[in-house]
Amino acid sequence: AQSVTQPDARVTVSEGASLQLRCKYSYSATPYLFWYVQYPRQGLQLLLKYYSGDPVVQGVNSFEAEFSKSNSSFHLQKASVHWSDSAVYFCALSSTNSAGNKLTFGIGTRVLVRP
């Protein structure tokens, strides 16, 4: 069975500081990995995705994530956060051969950026 763990339910950072959100996955093969962001009362927006190749992937709004097969991780990072980055961030996994492209989500990490 596949699973995604986001160990930090809440993260508070100051504006301009760096941000790292952790994500660990469990899957028997190489997964497709995603980070989505959800702003208050809105749907999910795709930040970035990893399928294969370079383990560091660049996303929108200066976010990047690094895939590590040895650590089964896909951590999200941003060098300098802005107050508008306050949102809930979801890590998700899609198995490569599942019918219907089922995404398994983590519980999400709520990020609060203090001015």
Partner 1 sequence: AQTIHQWPVAEIKAVGSPLSLGCTIKGKSSPNLYWYWQATGGTLQQLFYSITVGQVESVVQLNLSASRPKDDQFILSTEKLLLSHSGFYLCAWSLDSGNTLYFGEGSRLIVV
Binding site residues, partner 1, CB under 8 A: 32, 34, 36, 41-46, 49, 51, 90, 94, 96, 99-103, 105-108
Tell me the C-alpha distance between 45 and 70, whole Å: 28
Q: How far is the CB of 93 from partner 1 (least distance, A)?
A: 10
Residue type for position 71 = N
Tell me the C-alpha distance between 64 and 104, whole Å.
20
Residue 43 or residue 115: which is nearer to partner 1 going by CB?
Answer: 43
Residue closer to partner 1 (CB basis): 15 or 49: 49
Q: How far apart are CA 75 and CA 20, in angstroms?
A: 7
* Closer by beta carbon to partner 1, 10 or else 18: 10
Q: Which residue has the tokens 């994530």?
A: 65
Q: Are 14 and 114 in contact (CB under 8 A)?
A: yes
Nearest approach, Cβ of residue 80 and partner 1 (Å):
27
CB of 94 to partner 1, least distance (A): 4
Rounded-to-integer distance, Cα 77 and Cα 82, Å: 13
Q: Tell me whether residue 30 or residue 80 sits nearer to partner 1 (CB atom).
A: 30
Measured from the CB of residue 18, what is the shortest distance to partner 1 in angstroms? Answer: 25
